[in-house]
Chains A and B, each alone.
Chain A
Amino acid sequence: MAYFFRRILLLLVTVFLVSLITFAVFQIIPGDPIRIMLGPEADEARVETLEKQLGLDQALPIQYVNWMSGVFTGDLGDSIRFSRPVSELIADRLPVTLSLAFLSIAIVIMVAIPLGIYIAKRPNTLRDFVFSSVTQVGMAIPSFWLGMILMLGLGMSFQFFSISGYVPWSESITGAIGSLLLPAITIAIPQIAISFRYIRNTILEQLQLDYVRTIRSKGITERAVIYRHVLRNAMIPILTVFGLIFAEVVAGTIIVEQVFGLPGFGSLLITSISYRDFPLIQGIVMYITIVVVIINFVIDMLYAVLDPRIRLGE
């Protein structure tokens, strides 16, 4: 139980600090943020109304408390560029980014784990060397360029992929997959490269332990050795790497959405930055980061489920 309490406490502290950082960063903007947003020729009346509307005439701690309670109630004020509530704008874009992130993660899991196991069973062979070299290159390729290359190679030759724009799920399921699959593969490839190396090493380490020799000598099939025993024991390190990858995937969607012209969080964030729409930037950053923090919290909880030593632990 102590483990759970400590994790929950850490979660709250992290969320508090993340919100404080997100709030504070926008306080160090040189000059008056309202004037920066409205441009040098803004008239005084407009500046004053906006200042009132955003609550910038109040003391900083009050501003922070107001904003923070808005994070929980979903009222983050209005976007300056779009004149609509920030939370509404975010909700509009949520399905695209969410679908893209889940599709990417699914691809990473489906490719990296089997591939990692396959190579771990054949260490230091030619295939191992080839895959290790290829994954090193995979980590070095800028994801957006990879997207452009895939678009050029696959998107242009196969009708199935739509290379620009988004088809909502409600309109056509195959259309939605067609519009999301290439971007998802683009985001997934560098993450497959990272997690493959990690999974290979973890499984390889496990295979050299005594318990594997024991269960093998009992005559279980190699399949059962891997999937029932080795993978289970390797699950904690693998979960750790997927926690890191989730954050990378979320960050990846931001850029890759731009390549494929998908209307998700990425394009909203880029627009808000170009227009210096500070309430909107703060809202997007805060929500994305909270999701990442919560996912990592869930993974911490899973550790305890998987490994009683952690649950009952020191």
Chain B
Amino acid sequence: MKRIRKYGKNINLVIGGSILLMFLIMMVVSFLYTPYDVNTMDIANKLLPPSGEHWFGTDEFGRDIFSRIMVGTQTAFFVGTVSVGIGMVLGVLIGGISGYLGGWVDEIIMRVIDALMAFPGIILALMLVAVFGSGMVNTSIALGLMAIPGIARIARSGFLQSKDAEYVQAARLMGQTQVRIMTKHILPNVMSPLIVAASIAFAVALLAEAGLSYLGLGVQPPDPSWGRMLKDSQGYLVSAPWYTYAPGVVITLMVLGFYMLSNAIRDISDPRSR
């Protein structure tokens, strides 16, 4: 009970958690029900302002913007989950090995990581998109590869600090294998900064996906994407400004939700910051 009250005081957790919960519910609902069909065009009702029938108005083909925003959550969660998944698995693997083994292996891996981090984020993603091609799956892979260096660095410093800790020495003396020591003993102990990093990586992936889709190099129609909606809305900025508000606000809200969640996890897991 005391724990719950303490968490309740954490404004980041409450607001960030609520925002993300709302989007999760929206995603689940969107699989079962949307107010209008997301792809049916209705030219007679194009670019309508928000009203009781169309909460966020309609787009240039008369499609209901609210329904399209709802379905867009599927894309956002797909891209975010896949890219963070790739980033976490490979990042922790590479960083863990680098930190645990140390020596020249560490030196080589870290130099490559440094070089990868020298590419400004979106440039690396654009280069990968140029190679793999656009689309939802390729975008997710490109953003996942982009997330690896940052996560690997954090994993490395965790493994580096823990590799000579007493509990690791004890496990070694008990004759446990290196793999078991790394996965069963060190990993759980260095997990919290990694979860914080994953939450930030999710936010970064969402922004990058929106950016790539806005450039026309990310998610391709008919897959719904908020970034793509923003691209389409730009042509009607003056005549139908509401068209641009809805997708922009939901992207900002969802990214904000993940940033707040990452702050909350950091506060909870690191007693010094309290």
Contacts and interface: CB of A to CB of B under 8 A. Distances in A.
Interface stretch (A18-26, A51-59, A91-99, A221-229): A18-26
A288 interface: yes
Contacts of A148: 230, 233-234, 237, 244, 248
A231 interface: no
A296 to B, nearest CB: 8
Interface in A2-16: 10, 13-14
B152 interface: no
A17 interface: yes
B159 interface: no
B54 to A, nearest CB: 21
A21 B217 CA distance: 21
Interface in A278-293: 278, 281, 285, 288-289, 292-293
Interface residues of A, number: 48
A302 interface: no
A254 B129 contact: no
Which of A136, A137, A251: most chain B CB closer than 10 A?
A251
A142 B230 CA distance: 10
B126 interface: yes
Given A25-B128, A139-B259, A17 B115 contact: yes
A139 B251 CA distance: 12
A152 interface: yes
Nearest to B217: A273
Contacts of B115: 13-14, 17-18, 20-21
Interface stretch (B117-125, B176-184, B188-196): B117-125
Contacts of B227: 142
Contacts of B255: 139-142
B120 A288 contact: yes
B251 to A, nearest CB: 5
B118 A145 contact: no
A152 B242 CA distance: 11
B217 A270 contact: yes
A137 B215 CA distance: 23
A144 B215 CA distance: 10
Given A141-B252, A270-B215, A22 B118 contact: no
B127 A281 contact: yes
Nearest to B12: A136
Nearest to B117: A247
Contacts of B210: 142, 144-145
Contacts of A269: 126
B119 A18 contact: yes
B82 interface: no
A276 B129 CA distance: 10
B172 to A, nearest CB: 30
A17 B119 CA distance: 11
A259 B241 CA distance: 15
Contacts of B24: none
A258 interface: yes
A17 B115 CA distance: 6
B22 interface: no
B38 interface: no
Contact of A289 (B118, B207, B259): B118
B131 A25 contact: yes
A289 B123 contact: yes
A140 B256 contact: yes
B153 to A, nearest CB: 13
Interface of B: 111-112, 114-116, 118-123, 126-131, 203, 207, 210-211, 214-217, 227, 230, 233-234, 237-238, 241, 244, 247-248, 251-253, 255-256, 259-260
The 9 closest A-B pairs by CB, nearest first: A17-B115, A251-B120, A140-B256, A140-B255, A145-B248, A247-B120, A251-B122, A273-B130, A140-B252
Interface of A: 10, 13-14, 17-18, 20-22, 25-26, 28-29, 136-137, 139-145, 148-149, 151-152, 156, 247-248, 250-251, 254-255, 258-259, 269-270, 272-274, 276, 278, 281, 285, 288-289, 292-293, 296
24 contacts: A13-B111, A18-B115, A18-B118, A25-B131, A136-B256, A137-B252, A139-B259, A140-B253, A140-B259, A142-B248, A144-B230, A152-B241, A152-B244, A156-B238, A250-B120, A270-B215, A272-B130, A273-B129, A273-B217, A274-B217, A278-B130, A285-B119, A285-B126, A289-B123
